[in-house]
A and B are shown apart, each in its own frame.
Chain A
Amino acid sequence: GIQVEQSPPDLILQEGANSTLRCNFSDSVNNLQWFHQNPWGQLINLFYIPSGTKQNGRLSATTVATERYSLLYISSSQTTDSGVYFCAVVMNTGFQKLVFGTGTRLLVSP
């Protein structure tokens, strides 16, 4: 099956710093989503981004489908950005099933 790898696995930032999270996938995809899982466990939708670039406030994402990767940029990080960031992809074939990446655990300290 498709492999979805995220890097780095863990990241510690000082408040105000910028960061880039990466998602690599091993096969063609129809869909890619970025989620933030907060400390209470809820998965919050950040981006639906099968290709191209999107921005939402301090966050932006870019997916280069032909090269099989996506990037999530966090600027001016805040303590509330702490949590786990997952990318998840849907393959081009078969049922539209989300396959989650390995996750990046982010801790933003004051």
Chain B
Amino acid sequence: SAVISQKPSRDICQRGTSLTIQCQVDSQVTMMFWYRQQPGQSLTLIATANQGSEATYESGFVIDKFPISRPNLTFSTLTVSNMSPEDSSIYLCSVEAGQSNYGYTFGSGTRLTVV
């Protein structure tokens, strides 16, 4: 199945700044998914990114706060804008595994701490 590389793996940022997280896949994929995992919590889908179109955001997440780019079929970025301590979480990207009945593959995540 697809292999995902996420950068950075972790970062500590000042409040009010923005961080862009990169997700690189080793094969072409139609959809890429971005999740947030708050400390000690489950994963929540932020948005779905299709190449060549605007990302689709889940309830509670807005483009101004989490702009997403999807310039090609192997790459996407998620920006966390105007950060506050409440944005401290792990952010993960995911793609469909590419084989039937193998679900979704996840990157190892970006651990963000906002101070």
Our verdict on whether A and B bind, yes or no, reads no
